[in-house]
Structure 1
């Protein structure tokens, strides 16, 4: 794996850790969940053959520190962080942007706020409850997860969250932990350390985010919505599919499920290049 160029960027209320590889037009990759820049380790080098690939830890995650550790998190602020990275790394030209899960929600916020800075956004399974026809059944999930976290702890909260996202409300039984290579183990450790912040601060504000659908309709030529071919029926997949239907645009299928980037990295990278038309 190629060592990236590492940088730090001051933004409003935080300092972002970012990494850059390759040459060519800028491709900004926005991680989801409790992941950071390392979530893209499996695809970054291959993508860097065609793009200047920028990855980063979202504010409050891993190496991106908050000025105020208890600060509430808003999609608009996370979208502005992505904009600041675009302005730094591609000040003259609009960029390609990929976001996954909660990162896809930040990418949609960026597109609606500053479309002139974006050539195309690929949004993979943004879990937007409000676009679902049965939204009322799911609005209580984020607060329920946070309450379970506060009263029972992290793992029960994550089980509640997984069940709420799963098809039919039943999460798969977790597989036994296996020994990981050092780099993957370090990545998993950072992800675990990020989970309390994710549950408390990201899940409630992002899942209930009301995307500007009229604005997205006007920008649909710059937007690609996608879902995992193995995640039919799950809440994030349904959200992305219903949003594509609402906007009257094509819905692409990527390899794997919600975490296809991790389980099928090579195939996922190929699908991503095709989604950008390259």
Structure 2
């Protein structure tokens, strides 16, 4: 059993993608945006006992280097990258767990290349376009981005958490995003604010295409996410597709916070595929 990840690089248009493969069995891809491959490592290790598990850094994040650092990261580009990775591995079709922006990547892949993915588990996609107050949220997002790019990191994150309706303990934002920080983390954060957040939250799914595709769509929501923005967007997607959401332990990043518990319902979904 190959539980140790094999790290490799794939050249794609405009970028060199870092990716990792571990395990043996049916292929499952774990994708985030802006989360890198390392965020999924504990969950990937658990699944690798009976799956081939693909993890990757999205273009422009960490070890996936862009030819043009100023290029925006769109769901379509990230879906094309994932498609090329799946083609390169040639062990599909795959199941894809996408979380947050990665859930939008997975949905974009299902629209563009349904033959490559038999199941998409879209865990808390920030599909703002499906909400009635999308214009207001987009305006708030533009203000958050401007705040960050003006140098007010703490202020930008405070506005972001308020918009997402995520309650933080007093002083938590300052502790997480102030003081000395890892330069790579800061670089990835800046890329997300400057070149990824807007395009991701403006993406509108082709609901007719998703309804008619052979790809099975599962909408995942964290048990602890009730009332948060991504709870609302996920429920809007499930309602539009005429399906019931599947609940997962934890909140928006439950896959990283408690991978052991998260893996249980995920395995149940994968076994139904």
TM-score, with length taken from structure 2 = 0.91
Q: Is residue 154–residue 196 contact of structure 1 (8 Å, CA) maintained in 2?
A: no
Partner of 1:207: 201
Partner of 1:242: 236
Given the superposition, is the C-alpha separation of residues 220 and 117 from structure 1 closer, same or farther in structure 2, using an over 3 Å criterion? closer
* Structure 1 residue ranges (4+ consecutive) displaced by more than 3 angstroms after TM superposition: 170-178, 188-193
Partner of 1:198: 192
- Of 265, 272, 275, which residue of structure 1 is paired with 2:266? 272
Could you tell me how far apart the structure 2 residues matched to 1:115 and 1:220 are?
A: 7
Q: Is residue 15–residue 64 contact of structure 1 (8 Å, CA) maintained in 2?
A: yes
Given the superposition, is the C-alpha separation of residues 28 and 122 from structure 1 closer, same or farther in structure 2, using an over 3 Å criterion? same
Could you tell me how far apart the structure 2 residues matched to 1:50 and 1:133 are?
A: 42
Report the 3-state secondary structure (helix = DSSP H, G, I; strand = E; otherwise coil) of the residue aligned with 2:268. helix
Matches within 5 A, 1:152-231: 152-166=151-165, 171-175=168-172, 190-219=184-213, 222-231=216-225
Matches within 5 A, 1:81-120: 81-90=81-90, 93-120=92-119
Partner of 1:57: 57
Could you tell me how far apart the structure 1 residues matched to 2:144 and 2:124 are?
A: 20
Given the superposition, is the C-alpha separation of residues 129 and 174 from structure 1 closer, same or farther in structure 2, using an over 3 Å criterion? farther
Given the superposition, is the C-alpha separation of residues 213 and 260 from structure 1 closer, same or farther in structure 2, using an over 3 Å criterion? same
Given the superposition, is the C-alpha separation of residues 250 and 189 from structure 1 closer, same or farther in structure 2, using an over 3 Å criterion? farther
Could you tell me how far apart the structure 2 residues matched to 1:138 and 1:47 are?
A: 36
Partner of 2:68: 68
Displacement after TM superposition at 1:189 (Å) = 6.3
- Of 201, 226, 232, which residue of structure 2 is paired with 1:232? 226
Given the superposition, is the C-alpha separation of residues 3 and 226 from structure 1 closer, same or farther in structure 2, using an over 3 Å criterion? same
Q: How many residues are matched?
A: 266
Matches within 5 A, 1:8-47: 8-33=9-34, 35-47=35-47
Could you tell me how far apart the structure 1 residues matched to 2:74 and 2:215 are?
A: 26
Report the 3-state secondary structure (helix = DSSP H, G, I; strand = E; otherwise coil) of the residue aligned with 2:220. strand
TM-score, with length taken from structure 1 = 0.89
CA deviations 1:37-66 (Å, max 9, x no partner) are: 000122111100111001010000000000
Displacement after TM superposition at 1:261 (Å) = 1.2
Report the 3-state secondary structure (helix = DSSP H, G, I; strand = E; otherwise coil) of the residue aligned with 1:276. helix
Could you tell me how far apart the structure 2 residues matched to 1:246 and 1:88 are?
A: 33
The answer to which of 133-142 and 6-15 deviates more is 133-142
Report the 3-state secondary structure (helix = DSSP H, G, I; strand = E; otherwise coil) of the residue aligned with 1:29. strand
Q: Is residue 30–residue 98 contact of structure 2 (8 Å, CA) maintained in 1?
A: yes
The answer to which of 230-239 and 57-66 deviates more is 230-239
Partner of 1:181: none
Q: Is residue 105–residue 123 contact of structure 1 (8 Å, CA) maintained in 2?
A: yes
Given the superposition, is the C-alpha separation of residues 220 and 125 from structure 1 closer, same or farther in structure 2, using an over 3 Å criterion? farther
Displacement after TM superposition at 1:136 (Å) = 2.8
